[in-house]
């Protein structure tokens, strides 16, 4: 059991401070090589193949995943696997991103001559701009850190954080160059919440059964029953199969307050909104949410080109 919890916490705080400083120290090291690396990856007609050994390999795998999910086809390969047939996945159209903090990792350096033989361009990322990795690379990204956050200055901490941040910087810069939009992101993340909202349409979620439909001349006393049965908090006024209005629970309550005894003599047409918000069935859920937020409404009507009612999408339908 740890007795001095405060002092232990200070070690953790200092670690975060050291790594934060290491990240800020990267900024002066970013030069034309960063621009060239982004340009090389953007113009790549094949794949960005990320490689590294040990902790650098773990960082490389994450960078490859980030690149792939943001529009840059990429995957990670362990240089040790190259000697057992994996070199076959590489083509001259590819770009290699090789990561090594020292820039002198033996397994990685033995892999690079094979890459050079295939005329595949290399982007090196290391903390040593005078290393062999830097020498072999077409472009070198310097991720040198003053010291590791490890109290022994041995365990990869600040250095791996710096490499990871540089990988994120490459991915973000490529997103801007590619004009990568939320819709594009959703296509690479169809199973996530964002993907569902950006790819799902009104047709996919709209309610079509037992809709609270009523004529405009219906008395409000009868309309209340239909609105209640519909469980959508609204009623839809239809004339000759076309939407002509909408009433809500709020409309009914206000009509009761304002009319009191005369309430039951009033009709749907007297209180309905005559131009309710309507959408087409192919509109995305994300756009429907924007409409609801903008106009402070909880439902929209789905109609066809002739204003025939197809369904209703409410706030809860969008919560996917």
Summarize pLDDT for 219-264 with one digit per residue, the tens: 999 999 999 999 899 999 999 999 999 999 999 999 999 988 889 8
Indicate the SS3 state at residue 151: coil
Distance, CA of 133 to CA of 129 (rounded, Å): 8
Kindly list the distances between the CA atom of residue 197 and the CA atoms of 191, 228, 298, in Å, as whole numbers in the listed order.
10, 29, 16
Would the pLDDT of 309 be above 60?
A: yes
Summarize pLDDT for 4-62 with one digit per residue, the tens: 666 888 989 999 999 999 999 999 999 999 999 999 999 999 999 999 999 999 999 99
Summarize pLDDT for 268-300 with one digit per residue, the tens: 999 999 999 999 999 988 889 899 999 999 999
- The neighbouring-strand residues paired with 50 are 76, 97
Would the pLDDT of 124 be above 60?
A: yes
Backbone angles phi, psi at 259, to 5 degrees: -110, -25
Which is more confident, 198 or 217?
217
Q: Which residue has the tokens 């990267």?
A: 26
- The neighbouring-strand residues paired with 97 are 50, 123
Q: Would the CATH topology of 5-180 be identical to that of 202-318? A: no
In the chain, DSSP finds a helix count (H) and a strand count (E) of 14, 11
Q: Where are the domains of the chain?
A: 5-180, 202-318
The CATH number given to 202-318 is: 3.10.580.10
Residues 6+ apart with CB under 8 A from 241: 308, 309
Would the pLDDT of 70 be above 80?
A: yes
Would the pLDDT of 197 be above 60?
A: yes
Return the closest-CA partner of residue 73 out of 91, 55, 56, 58: 91
The CATH number given to 5-180 is: 3.40.50.10490
């Amino acid at each position: 059991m740890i007795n001095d919890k405060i002092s232990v916490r200070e070690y953790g705080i200092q670690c975060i401070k050291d790594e934060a400083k290491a990240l800020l120290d990267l900024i002066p090291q970013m030069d034309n090589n960063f621009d060239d690396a982004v340009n090389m990856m953007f113009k790549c007609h094949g794949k960005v193949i990320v490689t590294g050994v040990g902790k650098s390999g773990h960082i490389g795998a994450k960078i490859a995943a980030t690149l792939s999910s943001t529009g840059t086809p990429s995957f990670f390969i362990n240089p040790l696997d190259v000697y057992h047939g994996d070199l076959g996945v590489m083509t001259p159209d590819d770009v290699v991103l090789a990561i090594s903090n020292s820039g002198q990792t033996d397994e990685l350096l033995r892999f690079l001559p094979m890459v050079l033989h295939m005329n595949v361009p290399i982007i090196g990322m290391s903390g040593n701009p005078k290393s062999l990795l830097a020498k072999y690379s077409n472009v070198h990204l310097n991720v040198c850190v003053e010291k590791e956050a490890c109290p022994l200055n041995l365990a990869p901490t600040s250095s791996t954080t710096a490499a990871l941040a540089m990988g994120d910087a490459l991915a973000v810069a490529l997103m801007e160059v590619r004009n990568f939009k939320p819709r594009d992101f959703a296509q690479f993340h169809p199973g996530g919440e964002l993907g569902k909202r950006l790819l799902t349409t009104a047709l996919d979620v709209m309610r079509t059964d037992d809709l609270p439909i009523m004529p405009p001349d219906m008395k409000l006393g009868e309309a209340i029953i239909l609105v209640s049965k519909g469980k959508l908090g609204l009623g839809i006024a239809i004339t000759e199969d076309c939407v002509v209005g909408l009433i809500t629970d709020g409309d009914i309550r206000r009509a009761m307050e304002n009319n009191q005894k005369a309430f039951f003599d009033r009709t749907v047409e007297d209180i309905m909104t005559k131009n309710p918000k309507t959408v087409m069935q192919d509109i995305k859920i994300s756009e429907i949410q924007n409409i609801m937020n903008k106009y402070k409404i909880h439902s929209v009507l789905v109609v066809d080109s002739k204003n025939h009612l197809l369904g209703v999408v409410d706030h809860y339908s969008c919560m996917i």
